[in-house]
Amino acid sequence: MFSLADQLALSRNRPAGFDYMRITLAAAVVCQHSMNATLGLRQTLELLATPFRIPVAMILAFFFALSGFLVTGSLFRCKSLISFLGLRALRIAPALAVETTLSAIIVGPIFSETSLVQYLEDPKFYRYFLNIIGDIHYQLPGLFLHNPMPDVVNAQLWTVPNELWCYVALALLAATSICSNRVKYLAFLIFSQIGLIYYGIYHWEGTSLQLRAPLLVFCFLSGVGFYLWRDKTPFSPLTLLFALFLCTAGLSIEHGDMLVPIPAAYVTCYLGSLDPKRSWIVSSGDYSYGVFLYGFVIQQCVATFGEPVRHWSLNILISLPISFGAAFVSWHLVEKYALPLRRPLESFETAILSKISFVRRRHKSPETIQGPGSSRLN
């Protein structure tokens, strides 16, 4: 059987597929949000209460599964959870802090309908900076009040706390050694799947546009599982088609969402493991996070110019290139410069681990007893 691990080995575990998937999914998020920005939330939900919901719901399912697969590799390359969690923070926090600050101090004053004094005195202005630590706030004073989706600056950030919960969950699984034993992890996935089915049937009513937060976290955990079992996972087009069928069927029936994460994770891992030729868009930097961060606020700014640009296609044509430009700047001026901070992080980790090791050795070794007739105890 040709496995997922065999396919990854062909590209020395650096396939371009994951890079293309990241930027494609980020662009897909902007395209999907064009309906929110031009039609409003209610009409968007009505429109997507159709087969259109299937591809829309798969966007975030793929995103979270991709993150789970790739982040697990990072986990096993780290010496401890200190560097693992530190690297996650370095990847997320700097760009998020800059985007939050720019939205509050530049976009806000330009587009707000309140005076600058009122804007700066409003508690919403100060609460908005809590986005930097994952406490998400969507409003700034007087901003986008007459847009089709009013009073919302950054709707896309609702996924950030869920992503943070994914990292915490993986860290806990690593700390309890479940991740180091893939049989235990498989048992954990099975019990989690059963628990989600039971909980969903008895507690979730109706159908949401996106997969609910616990299911997105389970997409992440399913990606972790495929990484751990990659040498036993078939890399097969037929399996891919079957997984796509399961995703489509699950999203088409009542309570079927609970069955989507595992097949969605397989689709993600299959497509990500492909290794097409790299173009400049993936070889020059990782722009996906920046497109995700800046996309919605740019779309809301475009929507303020009124009816002439309030068609979803025009919103995409205008907003997507600007979002990519913002992402390009974010990568080359912010995110790329945060990466070298891993060196002091690793030095800090080494110092902490050395201290812990020293304390453990002292604790395990009996003290030397000094005095007449005494001897060193080993």
- The whole-number mean pLDDT for each consecutive block of 10 residues of the chain, a chain of 378 residues, reads 95 95 97 93 81 90 97 94 94 96 97 95 96 95 95 94 95 94 96 93 84 96 98 97 96 91 98 96 95 97 92 95 97 94 92 88 62 35
Give me the half-sphere count of Cα atoms (radius 13 Å) on the Cβ side of residue 177: 0
Report the alpha-carbon distance of residue 342 to residue 345 in Å, rounded. Answer: 5
Vertex 289 angle, CA 284 and 292, to 5°? 125
Angle between helices 182-203 and 213-228 (to 10 degrees): 160
Maximal CA-CA distance, the chain? 97
Among residues 216, 208, 311, the alpha carbon closest in space to that of 255 is found at 208
Report the alpha-carbon distance of residue 172 to residue 164 in Å, rounded. Answer: 12
Angle between helices 16-39 and 261-273 (to 10 degrees): 130
Across the chain, where does the E strand assignment appear? none
Classified as helix, coil or strand, 116 is helix
The answer to whether the CB of 33 falls within 8 A of the CB of 300 is no
Token duo for residue 33: 């949000």
- The pLDDT of residue 365 is 64
Q: Give CB contacts under 8 A, 24+ apart, made by 128-134.
A: 128/100, 128/103, 128/104, 128/153, 129/100, 129/101, 129/104, 131/96, 131/100, 131/157, 131/160, 132/93, 132/96, 132/97, 132/100, 134/160, 134/161, 134/164
Report the alpha-carbon distance of residue 84 to residue 64 in Å, rounded. Answer: 17
The residues, ordered by sequence, that sit 6+ positions from 313 with a Cβ below 8 Å of its Cβ are 34
User: Which pTM was predicted?
Assistant: 0.93
DSSP symbol at 146: T
Amino acid at 227: Y
Report the alpha-carbon distance of residue 98 to residue 91 in Å, rounded. Answer: 13
Q: What does 195-243 look like in DSSP terms, one character per residue?
A: HHHHHHHHH--S--SSPPHHHHHHHHHHHHHHHHTTTTSB--HHHHHHH
- The pLDDT of residue 370 is 46
Report the alpha-carbon distance of residue 156 to residue 319 in Å, rounded. Answer: 14
- The pLDDT of residue 373 is 39
- The pLDDT of residue 362 is 82
- The pLDDT of residue 366 is 56
Q: Give CB contacts under 8 A, 24+ apart, made by 82-87.
A: 82/345, 82/348, 82/349, 82/352, 82/353, 83/342, 83/345, 83/346, 83/349, 84/171, 84/174, 85/167, 85/171, 86/342, 86/345, 86/348, 86/349, 87/342, 87/345
The answer to whether the CB of 50 falls within 8 A of the CB of 214 is no
How far apart, in Å, do the first and last CA atoms of the chain sit? 53
Report the alpha-carbon distance of residue 108 to residue 150 in Å, rounded. Answer: 14
